[in-house]
Amino acid sequence: METKAQSSVAAYQVSIAEEDGIDSELDAALRALLCRCFPEWSSVFQECRTWHSTPPIFTLVASEHGQIIGHVAVVVRTITTTWNFRYNVASIQGVCVSPENRRSGLATEMMLTALNEIKRRGFLFAILFCKEHLVSFYTDKGWKLADDSVVMRNKDDLPISMRSNCPMYYELGDVPFPEGPLDVHSPSWE
Ligand SMILES: CC(C)(COP(=O)(O)OP(=O)(O)OC[C@H]1O[C@@H](n2cnc3c(N)ncnc32)[C@H](O)[C@@H]1OP(=O)(O)O)[C@@H](O)C(=O)NCCC(=O)NCCS
């Protein structure tokens, strides 16, 4: 695994992995963690680490004593506003920590590391979709809940029904997140 940055808190390590630095063994370990943490989506994660097979631009991998205990993937999406402005945004997916390692600050550290890297790569905004009970987990870290509707589309340009339906955004600089309904398109939309 190619490591571009590394930090350590407690006994675990958090690394930034480029996609071409993730070999099949690490891929399998990350998918196993995703299946444990998101059993309702295990059919997706048995096949691939991200939704719609969109390759991550980077992945945060947390490990402890050689075991994979945390994961965050970052993919690029294009969003369009009412006025047809388009932005490439960093979309965060698969935030998870193994059950026995929770409540020790690992997800908080991974989110901070992810946002620093996203900012370093020049993005103005990050987005994610979460379940309602986790909204405060993200707002505590500076994320905001989108007031307006957010629509995602499949490859046939039809709206996708989203089960994790709290859309959140993070402003990485001084530019405010666009107001009004947002279209986040299909992942491969260009
Ligand atoms: C959500 C998750 C990633 C949090 O990981 P974690 O490493 O335990 O989080 P942290 O230790 O950094 O938590 C920091 C704070 O966030 C809040 N928090 C953490 N998990 C929470 C949860 N499940 N519900 C509500 N608040 C939570 C708490 O305030 C916590 O502080 P505290 O431990 O002092 O009370 C982890 O519970 C997980 O993997 N869950 C299953 C997968 C999932 O739902 N992922 C989110 C997808 S959007």
Model pLDDT for residues 98-154, shown as the tens digit of each residue: 999 999 999 999 999 999 999 999 999 999 999 999 999 999 999 999 877 777 777
DSSP string, the chain: --EEEEEEETTEEEEEE-GGG--HHHHHHHHHHHHHH-GGGHHHHTT-SSGGGPPPSEEEEEEETTEEEEEEEEEEEEEE-TT--EEEEEEEEEEEE-GGGTTSSHHHHHHHHHHHHHHHTT-SEEEEEE-GGGHHHHHTTT-EE-SS-EEEB-TTSPBPPPSS-EEEEEE-SSSPPPPS-EEEE-TT--
> Does 57 score more than 50 pLDDT?
yes
pLDDT at 4: 43
Of residues 5 and 38, more confidence is placed in 38
Is 48 a pocket residue for ligand 1 (Cβ < 6 Å)? no
Is 104 a pocket residue for ligand 1 (Cβ < 6 Å)? yes
Q: How many angstroms does the Cα of residue 170 sit away from the middle of ligand 1?
A: 18
Q: Which domains does the chain have, with CATH numbers?
A: 3-185 (3.40.630.30)
| Atom 14 (ligand 1) nearest CA | 105
Out of 60, 72, 103, 166, mutate this one to test ligand 1's pocket (max ligand atoms within 8 Å of CB): namely 103
Instruction: Output the pTM of the full model.
Output: 0.90
